Amino acid sequence: MGRTSPLLIIFLVLGSSFATYNVVTMLIRYGSSEGVAFSDGLLLFDPIIEMPAHAKNRKVSKAPFHVALTATDAPYNKWQCRIMYYWYKRQKNMPGSEMGGFTRILHSGKPDNLMDEIPTVVVDPLPAGMDRGYIVLNRPWAFVQWLEKATIEEEYVLMAEPDHIFVRPLPNLAYGGHPAAFPFFYITPEKNEKIIRKFFPEEHGPVTNVDPIGNSPVIIRKDLIEKIAPTWMNVSLKMKEDPETDKAFGWVLEMYAYAVASALHGVRHILRKDFMLQPPWDLSTENKFIIHYTYGCDYNMKGELTYGKIGEWRFDKRSHLRGPPPRNLPLPPPGVPESVVTLVKMVNEASANIPNWDTT
């Protein structure tokens, strides 16, 4: 009774060794501990949607994707599209890229002066007054039309926006029926369950089935977005028509609509925090793929952020509503994060190399 069986000791040693081997092998196979965390000895996964078991031995699917962004013919939108397309061309053929063709989906209903510079498909805007002054409602309707009329060679589509810059070559982050998306901290379906339930009834499952995402950036299989897009459009319009939802979601209403529409079709996304960064809050471009310059960047000459107050040095896309920013923008002062410095350098490189930059 007081002695431990030699067989039991051998069994425990082998079991412990086998467990250690599995953990080490997992870290080696999946590249590093990126996306893997430990808590009280348990192995946890980030992002929220764990990769399917049969996909875990490969980080990305090896399939090109078509880059598609919706746009208007406003000068403010045009110069952003030109910069975005410039960096798409620079990164497309670099090692590691799986970027395929490119389409600007122009939902102004008529051609503009960038048709020869950027591959473009013209689609109709919503009928007058239907967007209720919220022009982003045209985005799902634009995708519905484009998917119906375009011949898309690639099996996957990246839904992008004009204020995206490819900071490095982008691989296909999706896998089969699992699209890849960026998780936004301000998209919180669980905190808004009362409103979400208006459009996502209980019979469809828990509110946690609605991912904390928008439609962009998303890499998704073409047949999936063809199913989701009409629902996305209808949910967007219904949300806008509902005063409570419109007030609660505001300028991110269309993002919630995409998240709900995807969930209604049973589609869950692999959440990739490395998909995108957003200066000035994200400080580094390291290991990220897209810069999203939606926020203004304001600093004093000591390199200190003065967000909410116009800085002595600033870069804000909204400062250039009527036309493109001038070439050779001044770089930020010392102490400003690398992400902001890289953003301005990339804008400057694009504007320096795009012909007739000031005529947008």
pLDDT tens profile 280-327: 999 999 999 999 999 999 999 999 999 999 999 999 999 999 999 999
Residues 351, 325 contacting (CB under 8 angstroms): yes
pLDDT at 175 over 50: yes
Expressed in angstroms, the distance from the first to the final Cα of the chain is: 88
pLDDT above 90 as % of the chain: 79
Alpha helices in 30-177 (DSSP H): 75-92, 138-149
pLDDT above 70 as % of the chain: 82
Alpha helices in the chain (DSSP H): 6-29, 75-92, 138-149, 193-196, 222-241, 243-249, 253-264, 338-353
Partnered with residue 43 across adjacent β-strands are: 38
Phi, psi (degrees; rounded to nearest 5) at 249 = -95, -25
Task: Report pLDDT for 129.
Answer: 87
Q: What is the mean pLDDT of residues 242-258?
A: 97
Residues 244, 199 contacting (CB under 8 angstroms): no
Residues 98, 145 contacting (CB under 8 angstroms): no
Residues 172, 63 contacting (CB under 8 angstroms): yes
Amino acid at 303: G
Confidence of residue 62 (pLDDT cuts 50, 70, 90): low
The string of pLDDT tens digits covering residues 25-58 is 332 233 332 333 323 323 233 344 445 444 444 4
What does the alpha-carbon distance between residue 128 and residue 111 come to, in Å, rounded to a whole number? 18
pLDDT at 20 over 50: no
Residues of the chain with CATH 3.90.550.10: 61-271
Q: Which of 187, 214, 189 is nearest to 199 (CA)?
A: 189
Q: Any idea which fold 61-271 has? A: Spore Coat Polysaccharide Biosynthesis Protein SpsA; Chain A (3.90.550)
